[in-house]
Amino acid sequence: MEDVKIGLEVHIQLTSLKTKLFCSCPNDYRDKDPNTNVCPVCLGLPGALPQLNEEAVRAALSLCIALNGTPTRKMVFARKHYFYPDLPKGFQISQFTALGSSPVCQGGRVKLQMKNYVKEIRIRRLQLEEDPGRLVWPQGFNSKYVLVDYNRSGVPLIELVTEPDMSSPEEARAFVDKLRSILEHLGICNCDLEGSLRVDVNISIKGGERVEIKNIGSIRDVEKALRYEIVRQKTIVSQGGKVIRETRHWDPNKRVTVSARTKEVEAEYRYMPEPNLAPYIITEQLVEEAKKTLPELPDERAKRLVKQYGLSEYLANVLVSSKRLADMFEEASKSYNNYVRLANILVVDYLRWVHEFNKKIGECVEPKWFVDILKMVDQGIISLKIARDVVIPEMVKRCKEPSIIIKEKGLRVIAEEGKLRELIRKVIESNPKAVQDALKNPKAINYLVGQVMKATRGQAEPKLVRKILEEELSKLRG
């Protein structure tokens, strides 16, 4: 879509840290009673002074280097003023480039491997800031009142801002997917936690102003919100209207964007240097330490999987799109050496059922279970079809070991030739036209094979079925 420009602002909670960004309150605020995980600092009470959590700087540096960005040397915090119930101080401690200093990191890039092309997305900056509190609408966006929970106030955030280099919803989703994988490999954010990865989308089409869609909470919804917004904006322009500069919210239930307010410009935030925090000098030693401790990242890991296990680039790239999925593959590969078959089961079949049942990758499923399944297929205990269509979905849905599922459902392959021959003769008697077709054209036997597999619920061994069918048809030819 050449007439569409998309840029993202991704808010990444540093869930790996033990405490908040400027105080000693626990960083894990979830499942706590409202407004109990707070102190004078994160509530912004008079006289309370912030103190920087230096682990947040180290985490931000690791992401900066992973994205090929340039760390700043002198980092200065700023006050970003706006008046909203979730911000008790009336300002957010953040960073701002125009104050004669730099955010923690500038520049960088992420390479996207799309279906038919490769695209590079430029990073504008990474900045450290505190998370505001959380607004709760008891009856959704139409609630008559709003509740505020300050437990989240002060949680350390990295805000990642891209250039408007994306031109489709698919590219935006691919970017967030890739970023999530990088964060997982770095170990600085558990992206499965509610609110740990939130996306603001900036989108404009030719002839319209830029619109921001705030606080999209899932990767799938990034794509859905953009699809809706592109149609909305194009409809306005095609009818002779003008797309105005505004902030909108994504309603995941109605699957629409809802107008919230006119969009603020930077001057309205009245940025000023934070007087209670001294400039922080990022030394060369700190940068070198971050480089040395950098783990294997998704792109490098994918290349290694291709080289070490003989996988295709496609399989390797899908595996590393989730650290857990890649870890499951490498753990299972210690006990099963048909690596391509193992990778295919994980990428094609396991992921299919994970998405079907809305589960998380690795949730209650052990790598060893895939080894057990494939070894049973290799030994002829179950068929590959049964493994894919019955065992794996039941395993994902019910969190049960494959051996238990196979025993419960009686899924073992029917390998007893006498029993199978008797069943095949019944299929031949029931399908006279198909039998005549098979006698004339050997390829037509596939229909009869399918009927036998259907009658045995996929439990018959296809090669044995074909062999017996050919023998029985040969008798009919006389």
d(CA 131, CA 108): 23
- In this prediction, residue 422 carries a pLDDT of 79
d(CA 329, CA 370): 9
In which band, very low, low, confident or very high, does the pLDDT at 471 lie, cut at 50, 70 and 90? confident
Residues in the chain: 478
In which band, very low, low, confident or very high, does the pLDDT at 298 lie, cut at 50, 70 and 90? very high
Tell whether the model's pLDDT for residue 464 goes beyond 80.
no
Same domain, 133 and 248: yes
Same domain, 367 and 457: no
Single-letter amino acid code for the residue at 197: L
* Among the listed residues 133, 125, 197, 159, the one whose alpha carbon sits nearest the alpha carbon of residue 56: 159
Mean pLDDT within 112-137: 93
d(CA 131, CA 196): 10
pLDDT 10s digits, 24-47? 999 999 999 999 999 999 999 999
Neighbouring C-beta atoms of residue 386, cutoff 10 Å? 24
Same domain, 183 and 227: yes
d(CA 323, CA 186): 10
Q: What is the pTM of this model?
A: 0.86
In which band, very low, low, confident or very high, does the pLDDT at 266 lie, cut at 50, 70 and 90? low
Residue 440's CATH number: 1.10.10.410
From 393, 409, 425, give the residue that closes a domain.
409
Place of tokens 């792109």: 299
Same domain, 389 and 306: yes
Phi, psi of 60, deg, nearest 5: -65, -35
* Structural domains counted in the chain: 3
From 269, 291, 313, give the residue that closes a domain.
291
d(CA 375, CA 382): 9
- In this prediction, residue 248 carries a pLDDT of 93
Single-letter amino acid code for the residue at 342: L
Run of H or E residues at 302: helix 298-309
- In this prediction, residue 208 carries a pLDDT of 82
pLDDT 10s digits, 331-345? 999 999 999 999 999
Please, what is the angle between helix 417-430 and helix 445-455, to 10°? 120
- In this prediction, residue 478 carries a pLDDT of 60
Same domain, 55 and 33: yes
- In this prediction, residue 269 carries a pLDDT of 82
Name the least confident of 21-25, 97-101, 132-136: 97-101
Q: How far is CA 5 from the centre of its chain?
A: 22
pLDDT 10s digits, 385-403? 889 999 999 999 999 999 8
Same domain, 437 and 473: yes
- In this prediction, residue 233 carries a pLDDT of 92
Taking the alpha carbons of 4, 267, 59, 249 in that order, is the dihedral positive or negative?
negative
Same domain, 89 and 34: yes
* Among the listed residues 216, 208, 234, the one whose alpha carbon sits nearest the alpha carbon of residue 175: 216
SS3 291: helix
Q: Which residues contact 50 (CB under 8 A, 6 or more apart)?
A: 21, 22, 23, 41, 93, 274, 276, 277
d(CA 199, CA 218): 8
Q: Label residues 36-64 b or e (16+ Cβ within 10 Å = b).
A: ebbeebbbbeeeeebebbebbbbbbbbbb
Same domain, 78 and 196: yes
Tell whether the model's pLDDT for residue 263 goes beyond 70.
no
- In this prediction, residue 382 carries a pLDDT of 85
Q: How far is CA 427 from the centre of its chain?
A: 47
Same domain, 177 and 242: yes
CB-count exposure of residue 81 (10 Å: 0-12, 13-18, 19+): middle
Same domain, 37 and 119: yes
Q: Which residues contact 26 (CB under 8 A, 6 or more apart)?
A: 18, 19, 20, 37
Q: Could you tell me the CA-to-CA distances from 216 to 11, 124, 441 in Å, in that order? A: 10, 20, 57
Same domain, 470 and 388: no
pLDDT 10s digits, 154-178? 999 999 999 999 999 999 999 999 9
Single-letter amino acid code for the residue at 447: Y
From 291, 313, 344, give the residue that closes a domain.
291
- Percentage of the chain with pLDDT > 90? 65
Tell whether the model's pLDDT for residue 265 goes beyond 60.
no
* Among the listed residues 17, 21, 189, the one whose alpha carbon sits nearest the alpha carbon of residue 95: 21
- In this prediction, residue 435 carries a pLDDT of 79
Range of the domain at 433: 417-477
Q: What DSSP designation does 113 have? A: E
Q: Which residue would you say has higher pLDDT here, 477 or 327?
A: 327
SS3 169: helix
Mean pLDDT, rounded, of the chain: 90
Tell whether the model's pLDDT for residue 2 goes beyond 70.
no
